[in-house]
């Protein structure tokens, strides 16, 4: 066994970090159930606000009469 594996085994018990998938842990479930939807909501809000800002700053076309 390499020294690095021994060090990791000692640090984290007998499990290596990649043995338990994130979505199966309590913190992982919380992240996917609460944080990801909140992040998507804020990104949607940011995009909507950017679209409004772009529309406000677009140059306005002047209407020209044909006469």
Q: What is the arithmetic mean of pLDDT over 16-45? A: 89
Predicted confidence (pLDDT) at residue 25 exceeds the cutoff of 70: yes
Question: Into how many domains does the chain fold?
Answer: 1
Predicted confidence (pLDDT) at residue 17 exceeds the cutoff of 80: no
The residue range of the domain holding 52 is 21-57
Q: What is the arithmetic mean of pLDDT over 45-54? A: 97
pTM above 0.85, yes or no: no
pLDDT at residue 60, as a whole number: 82
Task: Mention every residue, 6+ apart, whose C-beta is less than 8 A from residue 28.
Answer: 21, 22
**Is 53 domain-assigned?**
yes
**Is 44 domain-assigned?**
yes
pLDDT at residue 19, as a whole number: 75
Q: What is the arithmetic mean of pLDDT over 4-15? A: 57
- CA–CA dist 47, 27 (Å, integer): 28
């Amino acid at each position: 066994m390499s020294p690095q594996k021994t060090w990791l085994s000692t640090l984290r018990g007998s499990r290596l970090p990649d043995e338990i998938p994130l979505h199966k842990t309590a913190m992982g479930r919380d992240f996917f159930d609460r944080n990801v939807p909140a992040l998507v909501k804020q990104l949607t809000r940011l995009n909507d606000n950017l679209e409004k800002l772009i529309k406000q700053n677009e140059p306005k076309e002047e209407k020209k009469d044909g006469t």
